[in-house]
Amino acid sequence: VSAALLAPLGLAALAALLVPLLIHLARRDRQRPIDFAALRWLEPRPKPHRRPHLDERALLVARLLLLTLLALALARPALLGGRGAGTWLLVAPGADPAAARAQAPKGAQARWLAPGFPNLGQSAPEEAASISSLLRELDADLPRGARLIVAVPAALQGVDAERPRLSRDVDWRVQPQTAPPAPPRPPSSPTSAHAGPQAPTPDQAADQAAVQTLVLRAAPELEAGARYVKAAAEAWSPSATAAAPDAGPLSAPLPNAARAIAWLAPGPLPVAVRDRVAGGAVVLLPVEATVDGLGPATPLWRDAEGRVLAEGGGLGRGRWRRFTRPLTSEAMPEVLQPDFPARLAALLSNPPPPPALVEARAYHPLVGAAAGSPSPQDLTPIMALMVAVLFAVERWLATRPQRADTP
Amino acid sequence: MPPAGPPPLLPPDVRHRLQGLKLRARRAAGSASGIHASRNRGAGLEFAQHRAYEPGDEPRLVDWKLYARSDRLFVREAERESPLTLWILLDASGSMGQADGARPDWTRLDAAKALAAGLAQMALAGGDSFGWATLAGDRPHLLAPGAGGRHRDRLWLELATLKAAGGFPSAAQWAPLWSRIGAHDLVVLLSDVFDPKTIDLAGRLAGAGREVLAIRLLTVEERDFPFRGAQRFRDPETGEELPGDGLQLRADFLRRFGEARARIGAELDTRGVRHVEYVLDEPLDAPLRRLFGGKA
């Protein structure tokens, strides 16, 4: 732990120390003269030895201390390396704290690998947080010599896609699985953008089913393009005997259960459809539709040249998707491709959650990051308290009744 | 009886201790004209008057010869002229207003007033007449000698309003003193006697046949010089100031002031003035006891 000044120029305020010194020196001349009739026998010294004389030493000392502390407070003192060196035992939620403690050396600082790094004596933190981020934070805060032991369960939740890179080697202790892994985190908000439609994963089967009940409503001038969408929806059906997709003109009523709506009409989205989207449905729009007021759009589908074919965004609890080209084979040859139904299904389905579950053994942090400078601990509140106490002392000294004279 | 004023000029204990003391003049004592302290009524030197007998008069005071002639009782009264007149010369110059830092309400002048009151009390007890003169400013202020309680009250009244200011009067302004203070009078001078003019006045009075006593009043600070650190000293009469460090000035001052005290004492001795020193922290009756106590 070392002390430092964050604003060393504040020490210039130390010049104010001269003021109380001058005040206490100047009192000599304001002294009341002493009546002394026997003055004629007082020999005036030719060279009076003018020794600087300070009155009220205690008060002067209090005032000097007060000003020094104020100047120091202005210079913003801070303690560097607030967390001590030594051995740190970090237990990730899900790992067994008792087993981790048994393996760690005596005297190690035992903490949960959770925001705020609570003591291991407390109950296991509920909140799941990014273990990679926590590791990086602690690594940056710890002084250079500190040794880090991290006890993790066999499977880790909430990690980055990359192995973390720390400034020190970490004693990475993987415990055998004891508790069932926490349920996967809820998907991030629908507005979050992702790389692009991917092949459906088994996790998304339910979502896929919702997409299969696509309700198609098309304006007469867009009937031609609607054929491609309808064909794709028919292609999703598991068997040929299944019912044909619900397709019709714009005036046809929307079934209540519709989770996916293809609203192929120019102009703005009607309020009724918009409410459906806000309620959790996904809507597919043609390039002719205007999307003002639907929020920011993100490219979702690019062709081989990188040109955007479809974009989309979130609206309430639902999502909207819009083609950026007319649904014709000339403008958008992809509609003729055999994978168009799968692409369309991916476009309409929920984005997959990022991979966050990893086997702990494979997640041993790498070494080689630049060592972070530990964040300084600001001492200003302590200084303010000391200044207040000293001020009270100074006032008491200055106003106590047995004082002889001003100032 | 002392007036019920705020601070009694003469504290009761001092007043009590003064009871045994009598004014005593060397020249008067043992002279042919008798002891001045005698209060034998009827044996006075000068016949004053006859008055009618009143019950309670001593039989020996009755003029029996007159009774034989007139068949009526008369009492012979003699006006006894005291052989002693006391003059209290009170120095009221600015230097008398000096007090000690430790006791700022007890100035040299306060002590002098109390001593004057004590002297008046002694004169009153001895049946002597007393007068006083305050010496300050342009001319001395005099009150003719008298006797009795009312004269004492007058003294107290005047002392109550007396303030220390100005310098000691110069020799030209002493003329009233010469004309009023008679030969063989007892003169008591209450002063710090720092001013050479004071010594001169006392010496000339003594040289002219008066018996002069001097009580030299010193403050504690003048005797001990207890100052520490930087101080500014001011002469209350001239206003002259002298800055200095108390500790540094001390040894030199004590030596020089001691020499000055001895020199003043020697000079007073030479000129026939009996004198005592009184420092403000001593009991008030001490100087009077030294002057008038014992066989002297």
Check which CATH number belongs to the domain holding B231 and give it: 3.40.50.410
For the segment B135-144, what is each residue's pLDDT rounded down to a tens digit? Answer: 987 777 888 8
User: Do B73 and B169 belong to one domain?
Assistant: no
Q: Does residue B224 form part of some domain?
A: yes
**CB-based contact, B247 to chain A, within 8 Å:** no
Q: What is the CB neighbour count within 10 angstroms for residue B13?
A: 11
Q: Does residue B29 form part of some domain?
A: no
Three-class SS of residue A381? helix
**CB-based contact, A306 to chain B, within 8 Å:** no
Q: What percent of chain B has pLDDT over 70?
A: 86
User: Do B72 and B95 belong to one domain?
Assistant: no
Q: Which amino acid is it at A17?
A: L
Q: Does residue B7 form part of some domain?
A: no
Q: How far is A59 from chain B (nearest CA, A)?
A: 19
Q: From A35, which residue of chain B is nearest by alpha-carbon distance?
A: B234
Which chain B residues contact residue A40 at CB under 8 A?
Answer: 194, 235
Scanning A29-88 for CB atoms below 8 A from B yields 31, 33-45, 48-49, 51, 53
pLDDT at B89 over 80: yes
Residues 6+ apart with CB under 8 A from A250: A217, A218, A219, A263, A265
User: Do B75 and B90 belong to one domain?
Assistant: no
User: Do B142 and B270 belong to one domain?
Assistant: yes
Which chain A residues contact residue B95 at CB under 8 A?
Answer: 37
Domain enclosing residue B156, as ranges: 83-292
The burial of B52, by beta-carbon neighbours within 10 Å (0-12 exposed, 13-18 middle, 19 or more buried), is given as exposed
For the segment B141-193, what is each residue's pLDDT rounded down to a tens digit? Answer: 888 888 888 999 999 999 988 888 888 888 888 888 888 888 878 999 999 99
Q: How far is B271 from chain A (nearest CA, A)?
A: 23
Q: Provide the number of CB pairs (under 8 Å) joining chain A to chain B.
A: 78
User: Do B159 and B238 belong to one domain?
Assistant: yes
Q: Does residue B6 form part of some domain?
A: no
Total domain count, chain B:
2
ipTM of the assembly? 0.70
Residue of B93, B218, B225, B235 to mutate for A, most A C-beta atoms under 10 A: B235
User: Do B209 and B197 belong to one domain?
Assistant: yes
What is the predicted pLDDT for the residue at A177?
65
For the segment B250-295, what is each residue's pLDDT rounded down to a tens digit? Answer: 888 999 999 999 999 999 999 999 999 999 999 998 999 888 876 5
Q: How far is B170 from chain A (nearest CA, A)?
A: 18
Which chain A residues contact residue B252 at CB under 8 A?
Answer: 43
User: Do B255 and B140 belong to one domain?
Assistant: yes
**Residue of A345 and B87 predicted with greater confidence:** B87
User: Do B143 and B208 belong to one domain?
Assistant: yes
What is the predicted pLDDT for the residue at B4?
45
Q: What is the pTM of this model?
A: 0.48
**CB-based contact, B258 to chain A, within 8 Å:** no
Q: How far apart are the first and last CA of chain B?
A: 30
**CB-based contact, B102 to chain A, within 8 Å:** no
Residue at a domain's end among B33, B51, B81: B81
User: Do B73 and B173 belong to one domain?
Assistant: no
For the segment A13-66, what is each residue's pLDDT rounded down to a tens digit? Answer: 899 999 988 888 765 555 678 888 888 888 776 555 556 667 778 888 999 999
CA angle centred on A229, ends A224 and A231, rounded to 5° = 95
Q: What percent of chain A has pLDDT over 70?
A: 80
| B278 DSSP β-pair partners | B217
For the segment B243-259, what is each residue's pLDDT rounded down to a tens digit? Answer: 888 888 888 899 999 99
| A172 DSSP β-pair partners | A150
User: Do B76 and B203 belong to one domain?
Assistant: no
Q: Measured between alpha carbons, how far is B173 from A31 in angstroms, rounded to an integer?
A: 37
Q: Which amino acid is it at A159?
A: V
Q: How far is A67 from chain B (nearest CA, A)?
A: 28
- Contact present, A236 and A345 (Cβ < 8 Å): yes
